[in-house]
Every structure is written in C-alpha cells, then in structure tokens.
Amino acid sequence: MADSLRTFIENARAAWGPLTSDRVADFRRQLERLLTASPSEAWLADLHATAPLNQELYRDPAHGFVLLAHTEQAGLYRPPHDHGRGWVIYAMQQGEIEMGTYARVRDPDGQVRLVKRDSTLVRAGQVQVYLPGDIHDTRCVTDSALLFRFTERDLKVEDRQEHQVTRYVERNGFWTPSAA
C-alpha cells in the first residue's frame, strides 16, 4: 500500500465517530488529498492500468467503513437511489460524472415521486457528499471516469441483506420507488 492511501486510511480511522458536520468536512479534505496522489504510486497506477468496474481498496475491520474504486464508461447511468442509513462521499480521480439530486414528494393522492432538485458536474479533483436519505443519480459524461467511493458501511449489505436502500424507476415520466 502506497503512502497516500495508507495516510488516508490512518487519518480516517483516527477521525472515525458519529456523523457530524466537522467529521464530513474532515473526510472531504482527506479525500481531496487522496485525489492528489501521484499517478506513479503503485496502487493508483494499477487502477489506471486495469480500470476495474469495482475494486475494494480498504475495509476497516473495527469501524466498518469501506473505500472503493470504480471505473465507469461514457453514458453509464445509475438511476436515482439513496444509500439507506449510510452516507457516501464520492471523490473524482479522473473524468467527469454528472450527479443529480432529488427530493421525494407525496402527491395529494398519496403517490410518491421524485422531483429533480439540481445537477452537478463532478470533475477530477472534486468531492461530492451524500448523507443518509439523500437521493441522487449518476451519469458518466466522459469516455471513462475513475472515482473513489468512501462509505460509512458496506452498502451491499445495506441494500441486499437489510433492504434499506431505495431505488427508483421511471413510470409515466416520473421517478417512483421501484417497489411501488
């Protein structure tokens, strides 16, 4: 493990605790520093060479947080979803991804749908934070993008085992919960 990755992990472990504004700001700064790692560091050079769809870089045995690397291709779209009880911080290492945010609203007839709030183009060197309950989508807008995803917990467990993640599908021009 190279110095910048080891430093990030050590700092994240030292700063770990309940979610606070200061802690989010600290993790954001740590990820911004990780994004400045030299491409000659073996772990980062390997990510650029292999372009993994999904590679776990670190899983903390004591605190449960996970740092993943993802390579996405042009046009890859991930429909609106939340991350259940967890939070996630995306850090763009290379390329650009458009990330939209949504609010969940209930119509007078009781139907739930999403209203798009905003869209942000996240470029190399930038970080985007989503807290529990935040709803977002992603679309890769460059030939490829390499991003890091730092999560409070294993989101596969949150999604597949505990069924805490909400995914949305488009029906009649509106995003609605997929289980609806």
Please give the structure tokens belonging to residue 5: 């990755």
Burial 64-75 (b: 16+ CB within 10 A, else e): ebbbbbbbbeee
**Which helix (H) or strand (E) element contains residue 138?**
strand 135-140
Residue 1 pLDDT? 44
Give the Cα separation of 26 and 49 in Å (integer): 30
E strand map for 12-60: 55-59
Q: Which domain holds residue 58?
A: 53-177
- Residue 135 CB contacts under 8 Å (≥ 6 apart), including other chains: 80, 81, 82, 101, 102, 103, 104, 114, 166, 168
Q: What's the pLDDT tens digit per position in 57-66?
A: 999 999 999 9
Q: What's the pLDDT tens digit per position in 135-162?
A: 999 999 999 999 999 998 666 655 555 5
The verdict on residue 18 lying in a domain is: no
Give the Cα separation of 62 and 91 in Å (integer): 23
Per-residue pLDDT band for 86 (boundaries 50, 70, 90) equals: confident
Domain tally, the chain:
1
The verdict on residue 48 lying in a domain is: no
The verdict on residue 117 lying in a domain is: yes
Average pLDDT, whole number, for the chain?
91
Q: Would you tell me how many other CB atoms lie within 10 Å of the CB of residue 161? A: 9
Per-residue pLDDT band for 169 (boundaries 50, 70, 90) equals: very high
Q: What are phi and psi of 43, to 5 degrees?
A: -65, -40
Residue 156 pLDDT? 61
CATH number at residue 58: 2.60.120.10
The verdict on residue 109 lying in a domain is: yes
- Residue 58 CB contacts under 8 Å (≥ 6 apart), including other chains: 5, 9, 66, 67
Residue matched to tokens 């472990």: 13
The verdict on residue 147 lying in a domain is: yes
Q: What's the pLDDT tens digit per position in 110-128?
A: 899 999 999 999 999 999 9
Residues of the chain above pLDDT 90, percent: 82
The verdict on residue 89 lying in a domain is: yes
Q: What's the pLDDT tens digit per position in 95-111?
A: 999 999 999 999 999 89
49 pLDDT exceeds 90? Answer: yes
Give the ranges where 66-161 is alpha helix by DSSP (H).
155-156
